[in-house]
Amino acid sequence: MKARTKILFKINNEVILEESRDLYLNQIDELKNLIAKECDCTFDEVEVERVEMENDISEDIDVSNKGMHFWKSIYMQPIQGVYCILDEGSDEHLDAINNGTIEEYLSFFI
């Protein structure tokens, strides 16, 4: 599976827009123009940075207006359900939520 990246549009090191899909160069220029007009700055003041996304659950899961999808080789498959192996409300369940490891206990049904 190829690594997922996101494109950051910044002005003075402040992130103005994050885009999690790949963009063509002309699309990047169009967004830079729109941001420059909206933020009342020049085209050259809008910086573009491409960064690798952290290795978390969002690497395999994406959310769209049609629901959650699991990334497969070429296309996305809709997720039909989610199952957690921990008992809801148990100490283990709450600890996993608090320390950010809950995704290790989730199973997704496609």
For residue 9, how many other CB atoms are within 10 A of its CB? 20
Quickly list DSSP for 5-61: EEEEEEETTEEEEEE-S---HHHHHHHHHHHHHHHT--GGGEEEEEEEPPSSGGGTE
What predicted TM-score, i.e. pTM, was given to this entire model?
0.49
Higher pLDDT, 14 or 20: 14
**pLDDT tens digits, one per residue of 54-93:** 555 555 666 666 676 766 645 667 777 778 888 888 899 8
